Chain A
Amino acid sequence: MTCDHRVGTVGGDAVGASHGTDALPEADEIGGAVLERPSSTASFPSSHTLGPDVISDMMASRYVTMVGILGDPDSGKTACLASIYLLVANATLTGWTFADSRSLMAFEDIARGARDWNAGTPPDQMTVHTEMSDDRRPGFLHLRLVRKSDGRRVDFALPDLPGEWTTKLISSAQAERFGFMKSAEALWIVVDGRALADKERRQGAISRVGQLAERLKALFDGAVPRLVIVVTHRDSGELAQTVSTRLLTELQRRDVEFTVVQVAPFSENNAVRAGFGIDDLIAATVGTPRAAPDFWPSISPSDGARAYLAFRRDR
């Protein structure tokens, strides 16, 4: 019996011979180790894309704003995420600063997606197409930002999903993978601004947004969270008023409230800076905090009124 990989047996027979090393005397014994022990390493928790279980644990320990991010392939979902990261990495996100990210390396990975320039020509897509290692489980990015105006810290859980998930949700109501969105506080529907500017593709794009809104109503039993229509490629031009009106009509007839934010995660136009509108997108996602009710309003008691039993009955 010979084995080239057997410790202490260099081209010779292993049984009955004494070629062992001092470190591994058992190597020459029958049943002993045949391979050298690999050097062991210890792992730190990964800061690449996070699984739903990690996000769930995080949500159990602190308030996390879950954002559902939907949009057809190449609409600019990943570009929006990369843009947020690059803006905070360069301290240029208006009104916000970075505090933490449990998925810093994942952000770095998607930001570096814009690498393959062809002889000085930018690629058609600045970020790589999102593909999931597990097609059933979403991958999340985490980001904690601090709002400069009031010091509020906001934790975002941002899924980076392939556009095909949205396509299948629209076309065939495949919604089982979107279970995590039940806890979403805001939803982004990312639409390619170039499609809305193109007369031939415009109506189709708006129609798909309407169909998606209908799917979301079903998914959320009518109570759709804060909805933000994110129109990308603002650097290619501003959303025309007629398109805006058409979009409004499409969603109003489905009884869905929404906000439109125009963004330019990248810019090919010197007049529009890269990252245009991203701060508005964050603001629309966080929303305006509701005014806190007066915890114990002072009232003037009147004779005969059972004020205690009627407390807050009018709310």
Chain B
Amino acid sequence: MSRSVVLIGGPDSGKTNYVGRAWPALDAKMGRLQAAHQPTDITFVLEVTDHLNSGHFAPRSELADSRRDFEVVVAERKGGPETTIVIPDISGELWLRAVEDSEIAVDWMDELTRADGALLFVRVGSDQDVRPLDWVTSKRMMAKLGTPDDPSLPTQVMLCELLRFLEVSLVDRSDGSRPRVAIVVSAWDAVDAEKFAAGPQAYLEREYPLLAGRLDDVERLNVRVFGLSVVGGDLKTDEECRDAVQEGGLDGRGWVSDQDEKGLWTRDPDLTLPVAWVVGT
């Protein structure tokens, strides 16, 4: 059985680092999903994993047309039914261009219609984040700085449009249920304890009200929000985290924030959780 999960998100949203961290998690065979076999071609994920192991995040892909697929056979338990998961990692610049033009290459559209679900990424504190125009603050800013020739699309508008693309392109699951989309808020280790306790959904409501409104209104998709930290800290600024990765590797590092039965947001060390939920029964 073959399933496809599409990773989607704007530039610098954390997609590639997640793919690079998901492979060691699958290979460790400790999570909900386990690698059943070593994939034939792991060049791409090894490159990213090497970056993480060296104490650095993978650099942003600057090539808008670059596309790297990671294909792995997984099982929910050892010896259990196997599923081939294909994770196409398409650059954020390409998605941004797709939103601006309402167009995408035919093979990528095919990938979307073939997919069983998707992970939509948004990153806390990204320097690529574009805030919505605000007439009060913008007025002061524009008076001082003037206006750029081609102002960027606000991040929340791009995310809403990507969600709409998923709505119109994903097909129902084989059991007739709605396709699943995991909203992954990456760099979730960057928020303080109060924001962590409130959860990533509350973060989206505050930072991206248009996206939060859409998530609350969407009927066509089954949506669930996760927080994500691929290594448990910021390798750029957190020296302790960087040293720990360089000394001890990725094992035991990173977590997914999920809501338990009582509604509390807790850390789950299983980094396969978002993908497992999207492809799971």
What distance in Å separates the Cβ of B209 from its nearest Cβ neighbour in chain A?
Answer: 4
B213 pairs with A98, CB closer than 8 A: yes
B103 touches A99 (CB 8 A): no
Smallest Cβ distance from B100 to chain A, in angstroms?
Answer: 8
Q: Taking A41-B105, A42-B106, A274-B135 as contacts, is the C-beta distance between A100 and B217 under 8 angstroms? A: yes
Q: Is B132 an interface residue (CB 8 A)?
A: yes
Shortest distance from the beta carbon of A91 to any chain B beta carbon, whole Å: 4
Residues in chain B near residue A40, CB distance under 8 A: 105-106
B193 within 8 A of A: no
Contact yes or no, B217 A117, CB < 8 A: no
Q: How far is the CA of A255 from the CA of B152 in the complex (A)?
A: 49
Residue-by-residue, is A260-292 near B (CB-CB < 8 Å gives 1, otherwise 0)?
A: 000000110000011100000000000000000
Contact A120 B102 (CB under 8 A): no
B209 touching A42, Cβ below 8 Å = no
Q: Is the CB of B209 within 8 A of A97?
A: yes
List chain A residues, Cβ under 8 A from B154.
Answer: 89, 108
Closest beta carbon of chain B to A42's beta carbon, Å? 4
B46 beta carbon closer than 8 Å to chain A: no
The answer to whether A120 touches B105 (Cβ under 8 A) is no
Residues of A contacting B147 with CB < 8 Å?
115-117
Known: A97-B209, A105-B161, A117-B143. A89 touches B151 (CB 8 A): no
- Per-residue 0/1 for B141-163: is the Cβ within 8 Å of any A Cβ (1 yes, 0 no)? 01110110001011011001100
- CA of A114 to CA of B169, assembled, Å: 34
CB pair B136–A47 under 8 Å, yes or no, is: no
Whether A88 pairs with B214 at a CB distance below 8 angstroms is no
The 0/1 profile, CB within 8 Å of B marked 1, for residues 295-313 of chain A is 0000000000000000000
A39 within 8 A of B: yes
- Point out the residues of chain A lying under 8 angstroms from B138, CB to CB: 114
Q: In the complex, which residues of chain B have a beta carbon less than 8 angstroms from the beta carbon of A266?
A: 135, 139
B134 touches A90 (CB 8 A): yes
Residues of B within 8 A of A83 (CB): 135
A36 to B27, CA, bound (A): 44
Shortest CB-to-CB span from B212 to chain A, Å, is 8
A39: nearest chain-B partner, CB-CB: B105
Chain B nearest Cβ from A304, distance in angstroms: 54
Q: When chains A and B are docked, how far (Å) is the Cα of A119 from the Cα of B143?
A: 7
In the complex the two chains form, what is the Cα distance from A108 to B156 in whole Å? 11
| Contact present for B133 and A111 (CB under 8 Å) | yes
Q: For A44, what are the chain B residues with a Cβ–Cβ distance below 8 Å?
A: 98, 102-104, 164-165, 168-169
By beta carbon, the residue of chain A nearest B215 is A99
**Roughly how many angstroms separate A108 CA and B104 CA in the complex, as a whole number?**
20
Cross-interface CB contact of B151 among A45, A112, A153, cutoff 8 Å: A112
Question: Residue of A at shortest CB range from B153?
Answer: A108
Docked complex: A88-131 residues within 8 A CB-CB of B:
88-91, 97-101, 104-105, 108, 111-112, 114-117, 119-122, 126
Q: Point out the residues of chain A lying under 8 angstroms from B264, CB to CB.
A: none
Q: Secondary structure at chain A's binding surface: helix, strand, loop or mixed? A: loop
Contact of A88 among B134, B142, B144, B209 (CB under 8 A): B209
Within the complex, the shortest CB–CB distance from B197 to chain A, in Å, comes to: 21
Q: Of residues A89, A97, A101, which shows the largest number of chain B Cβ atoms within 10 Å of its Cβ?
A: A89
Number of interface residues of A (CB under 8 A): 42
Q: Is A146 an interface residue (CB 8 A)?
A: yes
- Are A105 and B157 interface neighbours, CB within 8 A? yes
Question: Judging by beta carbons under 8 Å apart, are B105 and A42 in contact?
Answer: yes
Whether B63 sits at the interface, judged by CB under 8 Å, is no
Alpha-carbon gap, A33 to B153, bound state (A) = 39
Contacts of B216 in A (CB 8 A): 99, 146
**With a CB–CB cut-off of 8 A, which chain B residues contact A114?**
133, 135, 138, 142
Considering the chains assembled together, what is the distance between the CA atoms of A89 and B142 in angstroms? 19
Residue of A with least CB distance to B206? A91
A78 to chain B, nearest CB (A): 14
B86 at the interface (CB under 8 A from A): no
B30 at the interface (CB under 8 A from A): no
| Residue ID in chain A nearest B148 by CB atoms | A115
Smallest CB separation, A156 vs chain B (Å): 14
Within 8 A of B (CB), among A28-50: 39-47
- Residues of chain B within 8 A (CB-CB) of A273 are 136
Kindly identify which residue among B102, B143, B146, B210 contacts A47, using a CB–CB cutoff of 8 Å. B102
Is A98 within 8 A of B210, CB to CB? yes
- Docked CA distance A213–B279 (Å): 59
| B133 vs chain A, min Cβ distance (A) | 6
Expressed in whole angstroms, the minimum distance between the Cβ of B40 and any Cβ of chain A is: 27
Residue B109, interface by CB 8 Å: yes
Looking at the complex, which one of B135, B144, B161 makes contact with A104 (CB distance below 8 Å)? B161
Contact call A42/B104, Cβ cutoff below 8 A: yes
- With both chains docked as a complex, state the minimum distance between the C-beta of B192 and any C-beta of chain A, in angstroms: 21
A41 touching B104 by the CB < 8 A rule? yes
**Interface residue ranges of A142-175 to B (CB < 8 Å):** 144, 146, 153
Contacts of A45 in B (CB 8 A): 102, 164, 168
Q: Tell me which residues across on chain B come within 8 A of A43, comparing CB atoms.
A: 102-103
Q: List 19 A-B contacts (CB under 8 A).
A: A41-B104, A41-B105, A46-B102, A89-B156, A91-B206, A91-B209, A98-B209, A99-B217, A104-B161, A116-B147, A117-B147, A120-B143, A120-B146, A126-B135, A144-B217, A146-B217, A153-B217, A266-B135, A274-B136
New A-B contacts (16) at CB < 8 Å, excluding given A42-B104, A104-B157: A40-B106, A42-B103, A47-B164, A86-B132, A89-B132, A89-B157, A97-B213, A98-B209, A99-B217, A101-B160, A108-B153, A117-B142, A119-B146, A122-B139, A266-B139, A274-B139
